[in-house]
Structure 1
Amino acid sequence: MTENLDLASDYSPTREQWLAAVDKVLKGKDFDRTLVTTTLDGLRIEPLYDAYPAGEDESGFPGFDPLTRGAQAAPRENGQWDIRTRTVHPDPAVANAQILEDLANGATSVEVQLDLGGGEGVSIRTPEELARVLDGVVLEAAPVSLRAGAHAATVAQWYRDLLAARGVHGAEPSGSLGIDPIGTLVTTGSVPMDAQMMAAMDVSNTPRLRTFLASGAPASGAGASEAQEIGYVLSVALLYLRALIEDGVDNPGSRITLEVTADVDVFATVAKIRALRHCWATVLETMGQPINTTQIVAISADRWLTQVDPWVNILRGTAATLGAVVGGADAVTLAPFDSAAGLPGDLGRRLARNTQLLLQDESGIGRVLDPAGGSWYVESFTDELAAAAWKFFQRIEAAGGPIEAVDEIGADIAVVAQRRDQQISTRRHPITGVSEFPLLDEQRPEPAPEPPADTRAPVAEPGHVHVETAWPQDRLADPYEELRENAGDATVFLANLGPISVHTARATFAANLFAAGGVRAVSDEGHQDADSAARAFADSGADIACICSSDDVYGELAAATAAALKQAGARRVYLAGKGDYDGVDEYIHLGVDVLDVLTRAEAAR
């Protein structure tokens, strides 16, 4: 009966036929509003992608110009990428123990954030303390990437002296000095520019050591879109590249590390890394340099980490790592899930390592070369993102480069950040466990104990240049978490009207909305009249109330219930849904500005 069954025999797969079929399903609804998503860069995410017209796919092959599909022509050996861990513990001895533990348990390189001036990171003031931090690390085998902000030039010299003292030959040590004066300038407002540029030019005796870091983290932390982050990284990297060329450094691209953030949007991360590699290859080719020598590192975006319900950060980190590896990052650094609350604990650090190890060794995603290649969606997204990033990059260059255009770049990023903040405020862009599905009775992990503050004077770094305004570095969950921290034992009474089948949907919606601000919902099975709801409110101890039911019930009881609740002492009365009823102060529904609602609720308590 099923012999020779050909399900596609009467179907010609044309886009026009598909659109006609979709139009029937939409029943008059607007196609774009219903099925098309627009990114913060203004790029359209279509519901369906099909093949490029003949000759229009310019992504090429892995290992060949324009490097969109990867810098190497063969898959990674054993499917392995550089699993990099970050060390930030202020105590040098503890930091050293953590580094050795990471390297012994799957990490292939380490990133050390150093603090020479009362900031964040491993607190050191002398070259001997740097040596203590790296004691037992085989520097010729384990790449070390340093971050020292305004003190990068000093640390670079200390590290070179340490290599010499340990007899590490020039051709052996790899890793990065992490000198990023532009990144330090835009995030702190000042940097010893000349000293850092000179330190990065000193490439003698260390042919494998990368000196400059062009990181997109400052732009990401300020709220940049994907295209803005890429454009910023390109402009900073080009400034460093020109300096190396002018200084006569051979193969200058090999001295620069490009760093971008990996976000919770897997496809956006994949496209961002592919687009960055394509654009940077174009820059190098234009400058007459080899195109496949620059390392691309992906780090998980700090802006998406949450203090509230931090366990969800484990999933965010997994998504970020997946996107980074599929996009072809050479190295990946994943922040521990508990790092937003302070120093990460042993569990957070272990899971950060093992997340990458699981994806590498059990999932095997590194064994396939450019696994996203050929996806019409990914290829189209990559091309459009590269074009948008290149346009932003050209604007920066036309304004004189990243230093001269720092305020202009910051202003452009602020516009995008404001749009994203609005999406988060309205929950169009949800934060799971924070703005959506909050867990008020959560059990958070205990943060690692903080050692005593280092009160020693900071290491002096003369010759700073300054900008008027540094870029903010915020987490997206901050406004919700602040409300939740201030809520204490606040409650909202849900005045459920009618039977359970009538009020449950809106009562659940209201309970979750108020819980996002730390306000616990108090409710019962439902009421048949306004006076019953008012008596229950008076017994609840709450200061505010929210009426929950169907539109039909609202027409009969909403106004009377609102009046009775006010008479019983409610400082503010909400209604779940839309309408215009006497006595109701505010309406909550899909699309409402949740942060505004919660802020006014806080003021009413």
Structure 2
Amino acid sequence: MDVEGRVKEWEEKVYKAWVSKRKERKQSFITPSGITVKPLYTPLDVKGDYMEKIGLPGEYPFTRGIYPNMYRGRIWTIRQYAGFGSAEDTNARFRKLMEAGQTGLSMAFDLPTQLGLDPDNELAYTEVGVVGVSMFHWKEMDIVMNSIPLDKVSTSMTINATAIELLSMLVATAESRGLDKSVLDGTVQNDILKEYIARKNFIYPPEQSMRYAIDLIEYSYKNIPKWHPISISGYHIREAGADAVLEVAFTLADGIEYVRRTVERGIPVDDFAPTLSFFFAGYTNIFEEVAKFRAARRMWAKIMKDWFNAKKTDSMTLKFHTQTGGAELTAQQPEINIIRTTLQALAAVLGGTQSLHVNSYDEALALPSEKAAKIAIRVQQIVAYESGATETVDPLGGSYYIEWLTDEIEERAWKVIQKIEEMGGMMKAIEKGYPQAEIAESAYRLQKRIEEGDLVRVGVNLAYEKDWIGTTEVFRVNPEVRERVLQRLKKYRSERDEIKVRDALNEVRKAAENSQVNMFPYILNAIKAGATVGEISGALREVWGTYKEPIIF
């Protein structure tokens, strides 16, 4: 009897007979993304040619990984997203994390910095240093990087609407130490599309913001060759409520838009595409997440090869950072979040990530305490050196379930991308409110399943303990930070050449008015002259205006 006949016989005579007497836990088993899971997967569920669909590591379509030996060669970059208070506070945390085993920096900025406001702006006062480090002048970057070798450490900066200003600060800091900017290695997020879609920390209208983002990509690949000028980010899309399918589809659609805009400037795709990077969430359902990463990698390879005629292998490889899912962590029984983040980290590693941040168990309560951040690094080290997941490449590859689920996520994601293409691309889709509405609907479905108990959250709708007594230390930013920051801002302004700053800001305004010039050199010059983030953003606001998104619901 062939496999198909044998499987049918098993279903009728074994499986159905068994469950007729012993009821299953649920009527149906459905992943968080709404994909129905069968009780068994066999070779019948894996379609297509092996070499075409799955292939070998380091070769097109990169389903099994972008490098031939993956973690047998080197472990992913261990990052811990950190930043709070003043520059000194963040420097101290960075140095402690590096002592604990962190291998790359990942910097968080406060909301005023993200929105182009100096700390003395009336709108900024209550947010100075609260959710990230206050970074308003390049000498603050110098303090953050005190005793950190910029030519040896990879730095990731989570910044978007003011990304050129922040990268310019890092360049100014490096050059003040006698280093050429070409030695800098790291990533700046610079993904403004996902801000309009999910995160909402934008400043300027979409067209001007896209010009700004592409200017950074163009300048960086020409002048800072080791730098990744954009991190095309599905993480925030997922955290806003999107499921795994929408996370893949919207992230890749954003990537398509950035590549198109850059190519339209006359830049050959193989010149800049190798510097592109991605950023995904890692959630707790291991198998759906692994399949998601594999599908995204295969889809991006096809997009770059078939849509943009890329020739270089590096242009087709989807290099990505993963952060474990903050939205899945609970304020209830926070210590058990260590278990969740371990599973999430394992999913990212089994899915082939190049860089990883593990959220601290107190994520749902406050900024991470030093103890919680150190435990998060230990999670990565245990996965790396004790789990066995790094011994062979793509250890789940060939699983009938994983291969079927990879195909399923890919098929569903292609349908979403096709719909976006029919709208004219992601910019047009955003203007119509399509991705925003889809995320809202996905978030509603997810929350409804949790509230109905169909999707379990331990400690919330299962094993809830009203009087749980934990030992969680809640971290709080020292309120004295604000005054320290304000005093330094005042000092910087008193010591600079105001005429030089004024002239530099005027050049920024002129550059903003001329869409044919790249903004980066003018912003970099203003940073070196001593201009602040708020002053540069203010000059751009004068020319470009600000954006208020339309009501779509």
For normalisation by structure 2, the TM-score amounts to 0.78
2:343 to 316, 319, 326: 319
User: CA-to-partner distance for each residue in 1:244-268, whole Å, 9 max, x for gaps?
Assistant: 3233165322222111100011111
1:233 aligns with 2:251: yes
Residue of structure 1 equivalent to 2:379: 355
Query: Distance between the aligned counterparts of 1:114 and 1:43, measured in 2?
Result: 37
1:24 aligns with 2:17: yes
User: CA-to-partner distance for each residue in 1:533-565, whole Å, 9 max, x for gaps?
Assistant: xxxxxxxxxxxxxxxxxxxxxxxxxxxxxxxxx
- The structure where helix makes up a greater share of residues is 2
Residue of structure 1 equivalent to 2:202: 190
1:139 aligns with 2:156: no
2:547 to 446, 461, 466: 466
1:104 is paired with a residue of what secondary structure? helix
| Deviation at residue 432 of structure 1 after TM alignment | 1.0
**Contact 2:56–2:62 under 8 Å retained in 1:** yes
My pick for the range that moved more, 172-181 or 187-196, is: 187-196
Unaligned residue ranges in structure 1 (runs of 5+):
1-8, 473-605
**Contact 2:160–2:192 under 8 Å retained in 1:** yes
1:379 to 403, 406, 413: 403
RMSD of aligned Cα (Å):
2.7
| Deviation at residue 161 of structure 1 after TM alignment | 2.0
1:86 is paired with a residue of what secondary structure? strand
Residue of structure 1 equivalent to 2:514: none
* Mapping for residues 16-95 of structure 1, pairs under 5 Å: 16-20=8-12, 21-27=14-20, 36-39=28-31, 41-52=33-44, 56-57=49-50, 58-78=53-73, 80-95=75-90
Q: Which has the higher contact order (CA 8 A, sep 6+)?
A: 2
| Deviation at residue 318 of structure 1 after TM alignment | 0.2
CA change 1:312–1:188 in 2 (3 A) is same
CA change 1:23–1:106 in 2 (3 A) is same
User: CA-to-partner distance for each residue in 1:350-390, whole Å, 9 max, x for gaps?
Assistant: 01101001111222322210111111100110111111111
CA change 1:123–1:370 in 2 (3 A) is same
1:152 to 158, 163, 174: 163
**Contact 1:70–1:370 under 8 Å retained in 2:** yes
Query: Distance between the aligned counterparts of 2:27 and 2:57, measured in 1?
Result: 33
CA change 1:392–1:291 in 2 (3 A) is farther
1:377 is paired with a residue of what secondary structure? helix
* Mapping for residues 135-534 of structure 1, pairs under 5 Å: 135-186=146-197, 187-188=199-200, 190-192=202-204, 193=209, 194-203=211-220, 204-247=222-265, 248=267, 250-286=270-306, 287-289=308-310, 290-292=312-314, 293-406=317-430, 407-439=433-465, 440-452=467-479, 454=482, 459-460=534-535, 461=537, 462=541, 463=544, 466=547, 468=549
My pick for the range that moved more, 151-160 or 289-298, is: 289-298
Letter in 1 for 2:277: T
My pick for the range that moved more, 69-78 or 369-378, is: 69-78
**Contact 2:245–2:409 under 8 Å retained in 1:** yes
| Deviation at residue 12 of structure 1 after TM alignment | 11
Query: Distance between the aligned counterparts of 1:444 and 1:147, measured in 2?
Result: 30
| Deviation at residue 34 of structure 1 after TM alignment | 5.6
Query: Distance between the aligned counterparts of 1:398 and 1:12, measured in 2?
Result: 39
How many equivalent residue pairs?
Answer: 462
Residue of structure 2 equivalent to 1:590: none
Letter in 2 for 1:92: A
**Contact 2:84–2:109 under 8 Å retained in 1:** no
Letter in 1 for 2:419: R
CA change 1:400–1:29 in 2 (3 A) is farther
| Deviation at residue 188 of structure 1 after TM alignment | 1.8
CA change 1:273–1:302 in 2 (3 A) is same
**Contact 1:211–1:255 under 8 Å retained in 2:** yes
Residue of structure 1 equivalent to 2:501: none
CA change 1:252–1:294 in 2 (3 A) is farther
For normalisation by structure 1, the TM-score amounts to 0.71
1:235 is paired with a residue of what secondary structure? helix
Query: Distance between the aligned counterparts of 1:433 and 1:131, measured in 2?
Result: 43
